[in-house]
Structure 1
């Protein structure tokens, strides 16, 4: 069973690449959205992604409870989780134990039958953030990405729309 992690910077082409990889598996693809439309900008981003994907995807909105959503959608088409870093932000904002949730996610992956393609942002390539919350988030994202990369069969880094296979 395929577990694929696709990472890269903002607007690097990660989501487009992940959509293509997800569609390469048989069955109807499932889009697991971790974003919430909390403002007009996010509403526009979500609409752009939906329009690009088309209507043939099953869509699940899952800002927090990712493992139960993956278990509930298992046995059908491949799942695309877009994105882990928004999920992490949601967990931190909700004051949930993100470390245990990431550990739970990694532990659940080998038990799943249907492929999962994860999108995540690489947030550690820029300058060191000037505030404690941003540094804590950056560090948490780096830890999460390492845990999920270790649990994945494949890892790709996307730059300027071009994928580089890391694992």
Structure 2
């Protein structure tokens, strides 16, 4: 299996920048598997800024719901970066997909990968309890998803103020 790394942290903690650097450290070119969709002008601007900052070393695969297929289709092409699991989870929840089945398919495919995979996710459980049911359900699902992924990857890093803190070292 190729090396797998999960990078987590809060909003604007530097997760994506650290993940991009880690992915390119495995070799070039790399593939950026983007889970974000463009739903408004602000999101379009955010996506454009991310793409402009990456440069020519990256191929782009956009996949909002079927991460297992995206991994399967890109294995053998070099290191991949999945950014991010929490947007993927939002897409699954809002599209009324089977989250346990999608998660299991993703984890099973992750275990089969030959090339490295770096995964970005958000740490959402450190704040207050949300007041609405959808936000609470999202927080709970994100926590479960992050725990399941962290259990199977080789390394887990937390981004704090743009700096990596290694949480789970590779043996």
TM-score, normalised relative to structure 2? 0.96
Deviations 1:62-105 (A, max 9, x none): 00111001000001110000000000000011100111211221
Mapped partners of 2:92, 2:84: distance in 1 = 13
2:12 corresponds to 1:11: yes
Residue of structure 2 equivalent to 1:103: 104
Mapped partners of 1:108, 1:147: distance in 2 = 14
2:79 corresponds to 1:94: no
Gapped regions of structure 1 (runs ≥ 5): none
Mapped partners of 1:154, 1:161: distance in 2 = 18
Shift of 1:158: 0.5
Mapped partners of 2:68, 2:107: distance in 1 = 9
**Secondary structure in structure 2 of the residue aligned to 1:125:** coil
Contact 2:33 2:63 in 1 (8 A): yes
Mapped partners of 2:48, 2:154: distance in 1 = 31
**Secondary structure in structure 2 of the residue aligned to 1:166:** strand
After the TM superposition, which residues 1-167 of structure 1 pair with which residues of structure 2 at under 5 Å, given as runs? 1-167=2-168
Q: Which consecutive aligned stretches of 4+ in structure 1 deviate over 3 angstroms post-superposition? A: none
Kindly report the root-mean-square deviation, in angstroms, between the aligned alpha carbons of the 2 structures: 0.8
Shift of 1:132: 0.6
Shift of 1:55: 2.4
Mapped partners of 2:109, 2:78: distance in 1 = 17
Shift of 1:108: 1.6
Gapped regions of structure 2 (runs ≥ 5): none
Shift of 1:28: 1.1
- Aligned pair count? 167
Mapped partners of 1:18, 1:48: distance in 2 = 16
Contact 1:27 1:76 in 2 (8 A): no
Shift of 1:56: 2.2
